[in-house]
Structures are given as C-alpha cells and as structure tokens.
Amino acid sequence: MTAHYRTKPFGPFAPYYSWRVNIWNHERTAAWEVQQVHHRLFLSNTTAEVQRFEIHYGYNFFLFGRAWASHGFVLHASGGVIAPNPASQIRGKSLNTSDPGALDVSYRVSGIGAALSISRRAMLNRFIGVMADAGMLGGRASTLVRDGHATVPTLGFHGHLGLAFGF
C-alpha cells in the first residue's frame, strides 16, 4: 500500500510545533544547534483493511546540527532520530498508545531524519525578535501496529513563524 498523509497542523489533539536552540561562535558566523519538531501524520487513503493510522501524538524529530550566517540569513543543516507515537486500527485490531495498559508503547526511537532550512530574524530589541524559517524535513521511521509494524517515510516542506530570543 502506498500511503498518503495529511498533517492537520492545528488539530485535533496537540498542534504541530518546532523549537530550536543555537550556540553561536564569537563572530556570530556559525553555530551548533539542537531542534525538536513535533510533526503529525494522518493516513488519508484508508482501506477496509487499514481503517485508521495516525501519528498525531508526534512523529517527533530530535535533531542536532550546524548553522551558518551570511548576508542576513541563516542556513541550517541537521540530522537525528525520530520518536513516533502511533495510534491505529488495522484488520479490526486497535493500538492506541495514549491509553495505559499492555499495548501502551508510547514514544520509542525508531528512525532517522534530517532537515535543511533557511531563516531570517528581525530583533525588536536586544532580547526579543521575530523569525521566519522555510525548509525541507524528511525521515523514515518504523512504528508499531497491533501484531506488526509499519514503515513510515515522510518528506515535506515546512514553514515557521515565531519568536526569537537573544542572550
């Protein structure tokens, strides 16, 4: 089966979000960074056999990378692990990781991912600003389903608007 997903960034359940922390060198030309992206996937082409497949509790990317500043923009490149938390109903058998019990598998590192993006920020004062970020995010993870597993690749363009804090 070739899966097609919707992301539903604003709901239901927890919305899509992302955060990033950078530690810049003294010249502010390069940085090390960590980033977390709470991505969400909902299978849109369900079948009689696959009634529901969702990773709305998070197809979570935990990334470590580098950033380079040039001409007012910042280029980001990072890689890391994916920890998905699925819910599904396949062949009439459910797996809901949000409920406690024997089938509560919760978050498990089960894949790898990478991101490449470009951002720009405008500081409103010395400590607070706004930022815009656009890039590609991709990965591949294996998630549990009742009596088996599913391989879930994703590749998408992501855009972010948010706050920037400087220290």
Q: CATH code at 124? A: 2.40.160
Question: Which residues constitute the domain of residue 88?
Answer: 5-165
**pLDDT in the model for residue 102:** 47
Q: Per-residue pLDDT tens for 8-63? A: 888 777 788 999 999 999 999 999 999 999 998 888 998 888 888 888 778 899 99
∠ CA 33-39-44, rounded to 5°: 155
Instruction: Give the global pTM.
Output: 0.87
Q: What is the pLDDT of residue 24?
A: 95
What's the total number of domains in the chain?
Answer: 1
CB proximity list for 98: less than 8 A, separation 6 or greater: 57, 85, 87, 104
Per-residue pLDDT of 156-165, as tens digits, reads 999 999 999 9
pLDDT tens-digit series, residues 55-109? 877 889 999 999 999 999 999 999 999 998 888 888 888 776 555 544 455 678 8
Count CB neighbours of 2 within 10 A. Answer: 4
